[in-house]
Chains A and B, each alone.
Chain A
Amino acid sequence: MSQMLQMRGVVKHYTRGNHRVEVLHGVDLEARPGEFIALMGPSGSGKSTLLNLIAGLDKPDRGEVVVAGSHLNTLTQRELSRWRARHVGFVFQFYNLLPTLSAELNVEVPLFLTRLSRAQRRQSVAASLSLVGLTQWAKHKPQELSGGQQQRVAIARAIVSDPTILVCDEPTGDLDRATADEILQLLRTISTKHGKTIVMVTHDPLAAGYATRQLHVDKGLLIRSEERAIA
């Protein structure tokens, strides 16, 4: 597979009240396997909409979105759900962990959708928690963890089902600088060592610095692309 992600002429509208607002005006984008892309841009520029389309949470009004070989435009809602379960890992700004579940159960949630046995699920969960350095915190509930630890749990949850693409929406937006750097370093490791394609929305230029490519979005268009080597 030469391209992990291909977007061609993607247009997306939203209706707000009586107004129809065009958020994306024909976006073209490609990403290779293992690439770490930072989507940057001001609020309302369309980067979150772009992220939702890449993640199969929404469909374009025009144009084509192909991720991991699947033409997302052609999939039904149910097929999209199943596709997401198989191919996409999500990391949110506010972690979005289930508060009454322990860290390990939170990580296990995506695996409930698979045919894995309990033992296999536990093995995958342990491996993911180990990767994010939280093995000792497996039994803890989210409120017993710091923000950085919660985001690590969220990352473990995102990678536990071995997705082909990781989608991160401001993953460090709620963290202090030092913790944010740890999280970004972790994401970069997942990209370089495990070959995962990562698309991350961020406002933070320092966070974007961890990516291999920075894409700048403004007024619904990709206006600039900067490629950089990993330090």
Chain B
Amino acid sequence: MKSLPLILSALRRKPARTFLTMFGVVIAFVLFGLLQGVDSAFAAALDRMKLDRLLVDARFSQPLPISYRARIQNVPGVTRIAEIQFLGGHLQDEKRRLLSIATDPETWLSFRPEYTVPRSQIEAVKRTRNGAIITDWTAREYGLKIGDQFTLRTQMTNVTGGSDWNFVVVGIMTYFDPTQHLTVFLSNYKYIDEGRVTDRGTANRFLLGISDPRDSTRVSRAIDALFATSGVQTRTQSEHEMGQLRMAAMGDISFFTRSIISAVFFTLLILTANTMMESVRERTSEFAVLKTLGYTDEAVFGLVILESILLCVTASLVGLALAAAAFPFASTYFDTTGLFPPVVIAAGVGLATGLALISAAIPGWRALRLKVVDALVAR
């Protein structure tokens, strides 16, 4: 762009004002990036919670009889099912908890495409009674590798009379988001169920797949109806619904973030519009000279608009870059993925461009309408 020196020269005219305006825009976009990033990460997390994955829990915090499994599997629309028993504990440090998901690992993994495990390791856990598939983060954190044994210290008594459970690492699963600290591992349900002394033949939850996500409500109702008169009633809902409920419990994140962002950007709009207005007013004679030299009215208008875009978009990119850098830390407070959503960058640049256009519209129009003869006389 040939006229770039002219635009840069305009921004260099009052360096302090340009810096302060850019600083304001940077701060606003850091805030935008973080809040919108959290909001988008929640939405993405919710998206990953599929409608075709149903969770069957006990209505009143009781263990679910494992016999329910066969009956649930017979409900029309159910394609596969995995029982889940949670077993929490720690390895060396009591404060650093690990959670064992005792299940049929192969079926469970078929529900969770976000985890990658080599086929041979799935076969290995099927063959190894106390086999465990740990996350790559756990492997790094505890220095574990395939073949290593570890002991999970729990509150659940086993048939040996103690509450230590021994596992051998047979697989390492990789989560799509490497920034996540995933403190779970997969183990065989049979190993836990047959090893414990209480609540044998029960599970905390059933995870099941259905053939048509649009059927989730009907299937959920059918399952709950099956056990409506049983001693242990069920509550079935899609993973997506459960996610929504959890997020609703945290408040309306979107409303909260949008309210803050709106307030910030309204203030920012006034700031940038004022900067552009001042900047153009000071340069009335310069615009007159440019027009004298042959710049058309539209070209001068374009220079003002481009100046505003350069100011706002550059500062917004800096702000978004800072937000992206800070996002993994911020996301730990909100239990979201640590990956900065690219859609936020695109939305931010779009917003910055919009801000620039609105800010420069009136001063640009004035520059466009400027009559050379009048401006030169006024000088």
List residues of chain A with CB under 8 Å of any chain B CB. Answer: 52, 55, 57-58, 77-78, 81-86, 88, 90, 92, 94, 96, 98-101, 105, 108-110, 112-113, 157
Residues of chain B contacted by A109 (CB below 8 angstroms): 6, 290, 293
* Chain A, Cβ-Cβ closest to B294: A85
Do residues A100 and B12 form an inter-chain contact, with CB atoms below 8 A?
Answer: yes
Interface size on B, residues (CB 8 A): 25
* Chain A, Cβ-Cβ closest to B11: A100
Whole-angstrom CA separation of A24 from B12 in the bound complex: 42
Do residues A86 and B294 form an inter-chain contact, with CB atoms below 8 A?
Answer: yes
Smallest beta-carbon distance A33→chain B, Å: 21
Q: 8 closest pairs, A vs B, by CB?
A: A85-B294, A100-B9, A112-B2, A81-B296, A84-B294, A96-B289, A100-B12, A110-B293
Do residues A92 and B289 form an inter-chain contact, with CB atoms below 8 A?
Answer: yes
Whole-angstrom CA separation of A98 from B10 in the bound complex: 9
Partner of B379, one of A85, A90, A94: A94
Do residues B294 and A113 form an inter-chain contact, with CB atoms below 8 A?
Answer: yes
Do residues B13 and A81 form an inter-chain contact, with CB atoms below 8 A?
Answer: no
Q: Which chain B residues (261-290) contact chain A, with CB distance < 8 Å?
A: 285-286, 289-290
Whole-angstrom CA separation of A16 from B297 in the bound complex: 24
Do residues B289 and A81 form an inter-chain contact, with CB atoms below 8 A?
Answer: no
Q: Does B373 contact A (CB under 8 A)?
A: yes
22 pairs, CB–CB < 8 Å, chain A vs chain B: A52-B373, A57-B373, A58-B373, A77-B296, A77-B297, A78-B297, A81-B294, A81-B297, A84-B293, A90-B292, A90-B293, A92-B289, A94-B379, A96-B285, A96-B286, A96-B289, A98-B289, A101-B6, A105-B9, A112-B5, A113-B294, A157-B293
* Chain A, Cβ-Cβ closest to B3: A112
* Chain A, Cβ-Cβ closest to B293: A110
Do residues B372 and A100 form an inter-chain contact, with CB atoms below 8 A?
Answer: no
Residues of chain B contacted by A105 (CB below 8 angstroms): 5, 9
Given A98-B9, A100-B9, A112-B2, A57-B290 contact (CB < 8 Å):
no
Partner of A113, one of B285, B295, B379: B295
* Chain A, Cβ-Cβ closest to B8: A100
Whole-angstrom CA separation of A55 from B293 in the bound complex: 10
Residues of chain B contacted by A81 (CB below 8 angstroms): 291, 294-297, 299
Do residues A100 and B13 form an inter-chain contact, with CB atoms below 8 A?
Answer: yes
Smallest beta-carbon distance A101→chain B, Å: 5
Smallest beta-carbon distance B310→chain A, Å: 14
Partner of B286, one of A55, A98, A110: A98
Partner of A99, one of B13, B290, B373: B13
Whole-angstrom CA separation of A85 from B292 in the bound complex: 8
Sample of 4 further A-B pairs with CB below 8 A, known A81-B295, A109-B6, A109-B290: A78-B296, A82-B294, A84-B293, A113-B299
Smallest beta-carbon distance B371→chain A, Å: 9
* Chain B, Cβ-Cβ closest to A94: B379
Residues of chain A contacted by B372 (CB below 8 angstroms): 57
Residues of chain B contacted by A77 (CB below 8 angstroms): 296-297
- Hey, what's the 0/1 contact readout for B361-379 against A, CB within 8 Å counting as 1? 0000000000011001001
* Chain B, Cβ-Cβ closest to A110: B293
Residues of chain B contacted by A82 (CB below 8 angstroms): 294, 296
* Chain A, Cβ-Cβ closest to B297: A77
Residues of chain A contacted by B12 (CB below 8 angstroms): 100
Whole-angstrom CA separation of A109 from B290 in the bound complex: 8
Whole-angstrom CA separation of A90 from B293 in the bound complex: 7
Residues of chain B contacted by A108 (CB below 8 angstroms): 5
